[in-house]
Amino acid sequence: MRPVQITAFSLWLVAGLSWEARAEEPGALLERAIQAIGGAEKLKKAETLSWNSKGTVNFNGNDVSFKGKAIARGLDHMRREIVFVGDDGERTFLMVLGGDKGWWKFGEQPTEMEGDALANEKRNAAMEVLSTTLVGLKANGFKLESAGEETVAGKPAVGLKVTMPQGKNFTLFFDRTTNLPVKSVARVMGFQGEEFTQETYFRDYKDFGGIKKATRIEMKRDGEDFIKTEVSDFQVLEKADPKAFTEPS
């Protein structure tokens, strides 16, 4: 009887430890990723970010070149200027988020965002910043869950499902070896109100002042190529001009 009792106890102990490890996995995964990117202390100070970009965006089957620059403060303030370069010259698009307000400007007059359009742009901005610095995922209101594993770019990756305070969710996948974010998946809304499953791939990480940032980002919508971006000049700013997040003139 003694061996049976020992075996039963051992099984109970192993089962208990296994359950505990599974319960801790989302938080442990996030901590490893934060450390891989640059560490919590440095990332908490990365409140205001700026970067430049260039690449192509697919419009109705045609790739259009662009160059751009962006600045973000927190999760709900962002200014993104994109210059599209075509055979007929250049056209500038501006997107501004200032907390509970936002504007688009394509041409001379800005258009104020409302309702679902504003909520969608705020969510997109938050996902972009969260995928870069990660520490915001530890704030109150975010729910983290394990999301299984899959292969990304031929390498094993583990998933983290993030439910945001507003109730929407997205999934981040982290490389099993480097612990860096390599993919995100979310349902997003297009300019015409249509919904897509958007997959974003993060590649070619480089160190910018002690923070690792993906310098090649590729998006697919419903499996089709959408945006291919090269990021440069990523930096943490001490502060941003408050006018950057107000209605564009």
Q: Over the stretch 61-93, which tens digit does the pLDDT of each residue have?
A: 889 999 999 999 999 999 999 999 887 789 999
DSSP code of 109?
Answer: S
So what's the pLDDT on residue 151?
97
CA dist list (Å): 76 to 14, 97, 120, 142 = 44, 6, 11, 15
What's the structural domain count of the chain?
Answer: 1
**Residue 138 domain boundaries:** 2-245
- Residues of the chain scoring pLDDT < 50: 1-6, 8-24
14-44 pLDDT, tens digit per residue, is 444 443 334 348 999 999 999 999 999 999 9
Specify the CATH number for the domain of residue 12.
2.50.20.10
Neighbours of 198 (CB within 10 A): 21
pTM: 0.87
